[in-house]
Structure 1
Amino acid sequence: MDAINPATGRRIESYEDATESDVRDALDRAETAYESWRHRPLRERETLLADAADVLRENEERYARLMTEEMGKPISQARSEVQKCAWVCDHYAEHASAYLGDDHHPSPPGTTVKTSYEPLGTVLAVMPWNFPFWQVFRFAAPYLTAGNVGVLKHASNVPGCAEAIEEVFREAGYPDGVFQSLLAPSDLIDDILRDDRVKAATLTGSGPAGRAVASTAGEELKKTVLELGGSDPFVVLDDADLDAAVEVGAQARNQNGGQSCIAAKRFIVHDDVYDDFLDRFVDEMESFVVGDPTDEETDMGPQAREELMEELHGQVTASVEAGATLVTGGEPLNREGAFYPPTVLTDIPEGCPADDEELFGPVAAVFRAEDEEAAIETANDTEFGLGASVWTEDRERGERVAHRIEAGCTYVNQLTKSDPRVPFGGIGDSGYGRELSEVGITEFVNKKTIWVE
């Protein structure tokens, strides 16, 4: 398993793949750890999680540079990611006891009836490369604190990040086996899922990967949470603050090199402000500094892998050949590394990749909508349903439109984002289940009714 720097194409380090024997040993350790971890007082688990936040902060620069080297994230964004991981640890360290406290119910005189939240066991997490620390802590912080143990199968291009995350929990004082990073090839996932010692699974990734995990887990009657792709609409109505919509829209499209499930991807703009928005938006997109991700002045680094950039470029080319207009960008940069420029497409024909596929990179598809109703219809014209963003100066109008957009989360006058305090997840081809907040920590627990007569 080679870690390749996408900014240079050079190998950083090689790692040994986990074998079937390694997998068996890891699951044995997880099962052994679970028997004592599940009975550890919740307050102690919260304290350990707070300690994990401290480890993250103490090693922020080292972990940030590791992310930048392995997947090309600009160093300033990598530091922010480490800080966000510490935040989610802080959040559950403070609120897990409230989230997992017993719920009492009406019952006959002389009886006590309550719901108790008890862990399930070993949870398999199949995580992606685009936010190599945050995606993992988004599952680990709540699920471990609820009393489960975790086995991470991370993306193959960020093995150093996988090992560093295991280090965080080890340095924080977690018992051996409570959290393990398993550098296993993808063809072992099915066997891991079928193992009786694994009780549940969570995946963030592509639609095909999610369907494969859901199918196997379904056969084994194991709970899953899936956060898959998105083609998030960014709706700009005729009364929007265009300065804010342009600035935030470009950020929402290009952050993390555009490699985010909840990045703004389809910009749906009311006809009355379309031309003005497009002119400003193109200027803003072209202002992004693309280059060395270790440079503090860089806004956007390389795409995470050469083949991913080639796939993105193929989608752009196919869309233009189908009739879309290329306004800016659209060609890999003539330099070492997997660099692709901020790109804008307009006049998007129905059925081309920019219309009905997820563009996982800095490519914005801009659609014209004749009125509010048409904007909503275009926003919902997708199999995905992860996030959405609506822009209007009328807050009541924004909330009304937000209710009509079919997505797991819709933000008004704000970019779509994940936040430890609120549930996160999608519908349709964007998956099911929720992460974060109280809802997230209770996804992988046994909600047990206890009736005492």
Structure 2
Amino acid sequence: MTITCISPIDGSIYATRETLSRSEADAAVARAKVAQVAWAARPLAERIKLVQAGVAAVGAMNDDIVPEIAHQMGRPVRYGGEFGGFNERASYMAEIAQDALADVEIEDSDAFRRVIKRVPHSVVLVVAPWNYPYMTAINTVAPALIAGNAVMLKHASQTPLVGERMAQAFHSVGIPEDAFQNVFLDHDSTSALIADRAFGFVNFTGSLGGGKAMEAAAAGTFTGMGLELGGKDPGYVMEDANVDAAVDTLIDGAMFNSGQCCCGIERIYVHESLFDAFVQKAVAIVNGYKLGNPLDPETTLGPMAHVRFANEVRGQITEAVADGATAHIDTFAEDDGGAYLTPQILTNVTHDMRVMREESFGPVVGIMPVKTDAEAIAFMNDSDFGLTASLWTQDTLRAEAIADQIETGTVFMNRADYLDPALCWTGCKDTGRGGGLSVIGYHNLTRPKSYHLKKA
């Protein structure tokens, strides 16, 4: 089978790769299992140093990586790629590794040694998405390797060059080729490998359907899983909020990367006293965007990664307007009816509309007025997803009290669309299960092993 990356810039074929046959995939797993034993036997400090060197080697490639990302998934080159977040996350996980993976000493007396150790799962499969292809991958790759696992990275077909770049960088600094492998696998082979217990842990970031397929493949195997399957993240602007800061951050959170962010803002609830001002400012911001070729440094909004993604967003907008929603942004001249899509702000929306209930994953946001915190909480929880929520107020106690009532993984106050590596990245409901980064990320990428040693 051939994996083909169609560039959203012009619809041309940018890259093709052949997938591994089942026998080739089995051989790759076998090599990874052998390499993992030797890799885990290395001192933790050495593994940390090598991963940090690999991360730096990726950074040295950034001038080539930035246009590659634009070609593969459409993000404008003006934003400079992902190395800042890539490095921040990996560096934090390296920094906390000694403490996070430390033995838990219960007793070491003349009679007994009792200790809990954290040991690697063996081989970790990382299935990474195209929207933030480097940052989402490193969330698991860095701590998994540091913890002593071997890693097999399967990247999205839209971004096939990313795994190759990471493998090239990591191998160049001395991480064994079999301990970190970039692999091209089709869906059937991936499912078959999971069903055959090829992996000790699987981390998947992607669609709800993909997550269900992963769980179905793993049924009865007891393979550990980390699943982040999307969101419909809300923002709530209270009457005491700094409305200018709220508009700037929430609209950027809705539109950056053409709205293709796992934790992007997809619906906004604004206290009725600020609603008109908020919408007016939001419309002005979006009308200032420049939609165009992502290789042009003047472009602020590139195409969506694929025409079918843009068509899904167009469909949600069209249905909402037909049902009474107001669209505030006139069609941009650069909107070609394909991957290049006009960003949109909708009002007069309701939760009966798909655009307020289903994941859009594109440059559209619905804005609704609310009267009370209780009303806003009810709307925020009226979703099958639960990844993040963004609260805007000057009152920290009020924000935390509201946060306690929101069904989500992360709650922000006066910011949005950011991943703090010191905090567990997690979700609930159809967003998935598990948690990445932070100390908890290490706990999920290892298993506890208890030693109860009676001394003679």
TM exceeding 0.5: yes
Q: Classify 1:38/1:404 alpha carbon distance in 2 versus 1 (closer, same or farther; 3 Å).
A: same
**SS of equivalent to 1:134:** helix
Cα offset, 1:64, TM superposition? 1.8
How do 1:388-407 residues align onto structure 2 when only pairs under 5 Å count?
Answer: 388-407=389-408
2:32 maps to which residue?
A: 30
How do 1:323-334 residues align onto structure 2 when only pairs under 5 Å count?
Answer: 323-329=324-330, 333-334=334-335
Contact 1:322 1:349 in 2 (8 A): no
Contact 2:393 2:399 in 1 (8 A): yes
Q: Classify 1:49/1:429 alpha carbon distance in 2 versus 1 (closer, same or farther; 3 Å).
A: same
Aligned partner of 2:171: which letter? Answer: R
Aligned partner of 2:12: which letter? Answer: R
Cα offset, 1:445, TM superposition? 0.9
Cα offset, 1:115, TM superposition? 1.5
CA distance in 2 between partners of 1:325 and 1:258 (Å): 19
1:135 maps to which residue?
A: 136
Q: Deviations over 1:73-131 (max 9, x none)?
A: 1123342x122212222222322111101112379984332221000111112211101
CA distance in 1 between partners of 2:173 and 2:302 (Å): 32
Q: Tell me which moved more, 199-208 or 84-93.
A: 84-93
**SS of equivalent to 2:435:** coil
Cα offset, 1:5, TM superposition? 1.7
Is 1:368 matched up with 2:373?
Answer: no
Aligned partner of 1:239: which letter? Answer: D
Gapped regions of structure 2 (runs ≥ 5): none
How do 1:372-451 residues align onto structure 2 when only pairs under 5 Å count?
Answer: 372-451=373-452
- TM-score normalised by the chain length of structure 1: 0.95
1:219 maps to which residue?
A: 220
CA distance in 1 between partners of 2:94 and 2:54 (Å): 10
> Structure 2 residue aligned with 1:57, among 56, 59, 66?
59
Is 1:46 matched up with 2:48?
Answer: yes
**SS of equivalent to 2:124:** strand
Contact 2:55 2:170 in 1 (8 A): no
CA distance in 1 between partners of 2:59 and 2:198 (Å): 33
Cα offset, 1:323, TM superposition? 2.4
Q: Tell me which moved more, 443-452 or 232-241.
A: 443-452
CA distance in 1 between partners of 2:211 and 2:333 (Å): 30
Q: Tell me which moved more, 194-203 or 246-255.
A: 194-203
CA distance in 2 between partners of 1:60 and 1:86 (Å): 12
2:207 maps to which residue?
A: 206
2:79 maps to which residue?
A: 77
Q: Classify 1:111/1:322 alpha carbon distance in 2 versus 1 (closer, same or farther; 3 Å).
A: same
Q: Classify 1:226/1:329 alpha carbon distance in 2 versus 1 (closer, same or farther; 3 Å).
A: farther
Gapped regions of structure 1 (runs ≥ 5): none
Q: Classify 1:93/1:408 alpha carbon distance in 2 versus 1 (closer, same or farther; 3 Å).
A: same
2:157 maps to which residue?
A: 156
1:196 maps to which residue?
A: 197
Q: Deviations over 1:232-256 (max 9, x none)?
A: 0100001100010011111111111
Q: Deviations over 1:354-388 (max 9, x none)?
A: 12101110100111111121111111111111001
1:321 maps to which residue?
A: 322
Cα offset, 1:21, TM superposition? 2.5
Q: Classify 1:21/1:332 alpha carbon distance in 2 versus 1 (closer, same or farther; 3 Å).
A: farther
1:343 maps to which residue?
A: 344
Q: Classify 1:329/1:433 alpha carbon distance in 2 versus 1 (closer, same or farther; 3 Å).
A: farther
CA distance in 1 between partners of 2:347 and 2:120 (Å): 49
Cα offset, 1:174, TM superposition? 0.4
**SS of equivalent to 1:198:** coil
Cα offset, 1:172, TM superposition? 2.2
- TM-score normalised by the chain length of structure 2: 0.95
Q: Classify 1:271/1:117 alpha carbon distance in 2 versus 1 (closer, same or farther; 3 Å).
A: same
Cα offset, 1:322, TM superposition? 2.4
Cα offset, 1:4, TM superposition? 2.0
Aligned partner of 1:179: which letter? Answer: F
Contact 1:390 1:412 in 2 (8 A): yes
Q: Classify 1:452/1:330 alpha carbon distance in 2 versus 1 (closer, same or farther; 3 Å).
A: farther
Aligned residues: 452
Aligned partner of 1:272: which letter? Answer: S
Contact 1:31 1:197 in 2 (8 A): no
CA distance in 1 between partners of 2:108 and 2:385 (Å): 43
How do 1:268-307 residues align onto structure 2 when only pairs under 5 Å count?
Answer: 268-307=269-308
Q: Tell me which moved more, 357-366 or 54-63.
A: 54-63
Cα offset, 1:20, TM superposition? 1.6
**SS of equivalent to 2:430:** helix
Contact 2:70 2:294 in 1 (8 A): yes
Q: Deviations over 1:375-423 (max 9, x none)?
A: 1111111111100100012222222222221110000001132122211
Cα offset, 1:443, TM superposition? 0.2
How do 1:86-101 residues align onto structure 2 when only pairs under 5 Å count?
Answer: 86-101=87-102
Q: Tell me which moved more, 47-56 or 319-328.
A: 319-328
CA distance in 2 between partners of 1:140 and 1:42 (Å): 15
2:70 maps to which residue?
A: 68
Aligned partner of 2:349: which letter? Answer: I
Q: Classify 1:217/1:403 alpha carbon distance in 2 versus 1 (closer, same or farther; 3 Å).
A: same
**SS of equivalent to 1:98:** helix
2:263 maps to which residue?
A: 262
CA distance in 2 between partners of 1:232 and 1:106 (Å): 46
Is 1:231 matched up with 2:232?
Answer: yes
Cα offset, 1:280, TM superposition? 0.9
Cα offset, 1:9, TM superposition? 1.2
1:15 maps to which residue?
A: 17
